[in-house]
Amino acid sequence: MSIPNSLTVFRIILTPVFVLLLFSDSPLAKELSLLVYIVAALTDWYDGWVARKYGYISRWGKFLDPLADKILSSAALFSFAYLSLVDLWMVWIIVVRDFIVTLLRSVAEFYDRPVVTSKTAQAKTFGEFLIIYYILILYVARCLPLFMQRYGPLLDSLMHPKVLFGMMLLVTISSIGTGCMYMFDNRQFLRECYDRLTRPSKYP
């Protein structure tokens, strides 16, 4: 297995470690959960850099890398919902959209029909990761007595339910919008996929 693919698998393995540490009663474990998430996210950047620099690009890697990203981000969002920090219905919309688009892109790559990511979709992804880091960092900070003693009111205001609801609502709306754009922009390819499923004899 190539280095980029090994790092991608490592990122998937780190996901349950992150969740277990996040739900631990120990403040130290919660701090470690933040560290694990950051390390996992850094492997995404690094494996992409290695793949481009040394030409370790494969169809398997093109499928697995975005899937690992979605597994990690989805685990964080569902964890926040379980902790009652965000609304579960928003998380479901974001996660389902992400996996549908990831599946579409993976199938398109398999048939050498790469899907170009729009600037709007990139902005949505950036916003999603931003709110994950925002919530995760502040949640961990609130679990540390030293931070709460010094910055308790500030942390409470930054983590106010209305603030988090507004941020999540923006990501949810952009998820729906960019998801529809993906479907519309790739409607011809979707028709071909439908034909392959319903009339396979037409295709080799």
Res. 194: pLDDT tops 60: yes
Which pTM was predicted? Answer: 0.88
Task: Answer yes or no: are the C-beta atoms of 37 and 91 closer than 8 Å.
Answer: no
pLDDT at residue number 103? 84
- Torsion of Cα atoms, 144 then 145 then 146 then 149, to 10°: 130
Res. 59: pLDDT tops 80: no
Instruction: Output the CATH code of domain 3-198.
Output: 1.20.120.1760
How do the domains of the chain map onto residue ranges? 3-198
Res. 167: pLDDT tops 70: yes
CA distances to 83, 112, 117 from 179, rounded to whole Å, are: 27, 21, 11
Q: What is the pLDDT of residues 101-124, one digit of tens each?
A: 888 887 777 777 767 777 888 888
Q: What is the pLDDT of residues 131-140, one digit of tens each?
A: 999 999 999 9
pLDDT at residue number 156? 93
